[in-house]
Structure 1
Amino acid sequence: MVFPKDISDMGRMEQANRLFFRLYQCANMLHKTGTKAVESEGLTTQQWAVLGALSRPDTQNGISMGDLARFLMVSRQNLSGLISRMERDGHVRSDPDGRDRRSRLVTMTESGRQVWLEQAVPKIRVFYEQALEGFSNSDLTHTVHYLLKLLDNMKEIDAEQGHAPSDDGDAPVDLEAQV
């Protein structure tokens, strides 16, 4: 066991442990409660993230599986299974890329767009309001700032561990950009 050099290191380690455990809990609750919010549309939080990513203006003509996986920060293997299920349900389409036949472009179908805009987005807005109860605009700004800072640090760790760096931008579901 490694012991901290002094009491301040021990306190920082305890705070870090609390922070990362709370992030873990938040991620689990987001998956549980977020999926419940959109389950009547036949969606999960993962599908919500994909539809949110595909509803951005820069993806209207499709996005490669690799770029979508990097944007969502998931493995291609996990994304492939998810996209297959979403194709089966008629929400997305995956076609060969005209510029590179080895690559596939994922686009949202009209049916998927209807489910997203007319059914999911209104429920997601309600979910956001409930989840962010008591947060001021300043709280939201600061929270996003610190989460992005943490995400950047973890991306550096990922790159040091031998994974390709990615410039994934902001969160995959920016409702204001889609409506």
Structure 2
Amino acid sequence: MVSAPLDTIERPSAAKERLRLWIRLLRASRLIEGELRERLKRDFDSTLPRFDVLAALYRQPDGMLMSDLSRFLLVSNGNVTGIIERLVKDGLVSRAAREGDRRASIVKLTATGERRFTEMAAAHETWIEEFLGDVSRSDAERLSATLKTFRSNWEDGH
């Protein structure tokens, strides 16, 4: 068997490296998301979509229009409506008609919802630290900045 000298073996193309990166990002995302789903269910009897809705509303203490919430979460109005209905039933979110437009609803966290989300967010942060604790702060900052640049470039072009 004849083997090629090391200097003649080609490195994978940039396209191949980017494909590998995508596969690794996707795999890491799926693994972490799966574990988050399990822990939210186990520890808080909640789902990841409910957590995402609560998180979005937590960032907007004055509330959000349902349509803005859907756009922010990148999901359909129907999906958000079902989640909001259950959160209202559970006393975590309030819903009111927008002044001057009864067709538009503004939703916001109740005091109970804010307390519940704060508990969930603290656990979520601990879990993420557990999953990604081996990533140094500088690596996390660099990767985050790179992904933010990618997102900005991609969104601007599409």
Q: One fold, TM greater than 0.5?
A: yes
Aligned partner of 2:85 in structure 1 is 84
Alignment of 1:60 with 2:61, yes or no, is yes
Aligned equivalents of 2:46 and 2:21: distance in 1? Answer: 29
- Give the Cα separation in 1 of the matches to 2:121 and 2:100: 33
More strand by share: 2
The CA deviation at 1:13 is 2.3
The answer to whether the 8 A contact 2:32-2:131 is kept is no
Which structure carries more relative contact order (alpha carbon 8 Å, separation 6+)?
1
Distance 2:132 2:61 in 1: 30
Kindly name which structure, 1 or 2, has the bigger radius of gyration based on alpha carbons: 2
Q: 1:27 to 1:134 in 2, by over 3 A?
A: closer
Q: How many residues align?
A: 148
Residue segments in structure 1 that go unaligned for 5+ positions in a row:
1-6, 161-179
Residue 23 of structure 1: aligned partner: 25
Cα separation, partners in 2 of 1:98 and 1:85, compared to 1, 3 Å: same
Q: 1:17 to 1:106 in 2, by over 3 A?
A: same
Instruction: Name the aligned partner's letter for residue 108 of structure 1.
Output: L
* Distance across 2 between alignment mates of 1:25 and 1:87: 34
**Which amino acid in structure 1 is aligned with residue 86 of structure 2?**
R
Matched-pair identity in %: 26
TM-score normalised to structure 1 length:
0.71
TM-score with structure 2 setting the length: 0.79
Counterpart of 1:102 in structure 2 is 103
